[in-house]
């Protein structure tokens, strides 16, 4: 039994197995927490298996998690399915639609032709079963990468995604949350990776909208960035890196997938992050950031690839989690729009917060 969080350490479920809920989020439903995400149990970086469906866990205390099983199974018998184990399925996000009574799940799919599409599924319960309602969706006719889904108090929903290797998009969802309406706004235009923002996480605090994003360097980590706005569509103002005390410039060797406000706590928000490659933490960010920039600006010949050493083994079956609380600085002379910081802690407890 756990009685606190241990960021970056192996986290086991109540059966003593590694938790496999990567790139996911938490929902609080009727007194129970549900944590879902990519099941990477078979992804050793060598066998061609990218995922083994979406797995979900339940908890009463956020520390100890019961495996509720695979709620969206892989489809190994259909090589053309977006849920085939070799299909690059990432970042499941589930929201509840009070009008339809459905749980709606969006999945990002990286296709073999390098385009990225969405698969959308619905279910009557968070644990499923889920039914596909859209496959191969190109929102706004764009190649759509990492994303987050968010629902306003009035039930209107929004979809924040990376327009691949270009900018961030905020798009309104249809009333049933299974498509976009066509109305959207654009944010954070960048020339190329590693500067393009991905892994967008949206949250609300005191009427302000926050986006925490990652740079674009694959599974290798990079500096996060936080931005703030008065409305869902912005405009968003970049505040800076929430990890200023991290000398490695890797967000403590992790990538934030979502931000969860703990119910019953006055002001406790948890940045839920994945440490995708715990065996590759020796790689310096500055080197692979330069590599990504030169590759994506057509100057790959200028980079000495021997500086990267041996190729990284993307064994995400042993990926760990880095859950840390957000620390808010209210607006002052130094921070006219406030600021959000994430401090390293070897361990921490919910009980330490109001």
Convert 230-261 to b/e letters by CB count within 10 Å (16 or more is b).
eebbbebeebebbbeebebbbbbbbbbbbbbe
pLDDT in tens, 77-136: 999 999 999 999 999 999 999 999 999 999 999 988 878 999 999 999 999 999 999 999
Q: What per-residue confidence (pLDDT) applies to 111?
A: 86
Sites in the chain below the pLDDT cut of 50: none
- Distance (Å, whole) CA 125 – CA 106: 15
Convert 262-296 to b/e letters by CB count within 10 Å (16 or more is b).
beeeeebbbbbbbbbbbebeebebeebbbbbbebb
Q: What per-residue confidence (pLDDT) applies to 114?
A: 78
3-state SS of 3-20? CCECCCCCCECCCCCECC
Q: What per-residue confidence (pLDDT) applies to 329?
A: 97
| Residue 92, Cβ density class (10 Å: 0-12 exposed, 13-18 middle, ≥19 buried) | buried
- Distance (Å, whole) CA 220 – CA 319: 12
Q: What per-residue confidence (pLDDT) applies to 115?
A: 86
């Amino acid at each position: 039994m756990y009685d606190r969080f241990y960021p970056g350490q192996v986290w086991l479920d109540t059966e003593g197995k590694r938790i496999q809920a990567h790139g996911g989020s938490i929902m609080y439903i009727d007194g129970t927490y549900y944590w879902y995400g990519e099941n990477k149990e078979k992804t050793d970086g060598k066998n061609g298996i990218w995922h083994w469906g979406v797995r979900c866990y339940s908890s009463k205390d956020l520390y100890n998690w019961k495996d509720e099983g695979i709620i969206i199974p892989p489809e190994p018998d259909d090589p053309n399915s977006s849920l085939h184990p070799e299909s690059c399925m990432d970042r499941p996000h589930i929201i509840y639609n009070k009008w339809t009574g459905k749980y709606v799940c969006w999945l990002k799919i990286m296709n073999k032709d390098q385009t990225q599409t969405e698969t959308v599924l619905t279910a009557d319960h968070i644990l499923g079963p889920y039914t596909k309602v859209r496959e191969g969706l190109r929102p706004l006719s764009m190649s759509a990468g990492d994303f987050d889904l968010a629902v306003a108090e009035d039930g209107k929903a929004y979809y924040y995604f990376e327009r691949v290797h270009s900018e961030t998009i905020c798009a309104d969802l249809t009333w049933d949350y299974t498509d976009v309406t066509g109305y959207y706004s654009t944010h954070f235009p960048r020339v190329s990776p590693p500067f393009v923002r991905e892994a967008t996480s949206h949250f609300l605090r005191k009427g302000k909208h926050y986006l925490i994003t990652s740079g674009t360097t694959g599974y290798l980590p990079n500096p996060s960035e936080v931005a703030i706005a008065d409305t869902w569509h912005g405009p968003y103002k970049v505040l800076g890196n929430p990890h200023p005390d991290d000398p490695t410039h890797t967000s403590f060797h992790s990538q934030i997938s979502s931000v969860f406000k703990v119910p019953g706590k006055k002001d406790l928000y948890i940045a839920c992050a994945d440490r995708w490659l715990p065996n590759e933490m020796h790689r310096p960010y500055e080197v692979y950031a330069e590599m990504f920039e030169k590759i994506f600006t057509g100057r790959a010949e200028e980079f000495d690839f021997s500086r990267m050493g041996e190729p990284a083994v993307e064994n995400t079956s042993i990926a760990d989690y880095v859950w840390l609380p957000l620390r808010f600085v209210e607006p002052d002379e130094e921070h006219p729009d406030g600021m959000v910081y994430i401090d390293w802690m070897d361990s921490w407890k919910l009980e330490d917060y109001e």
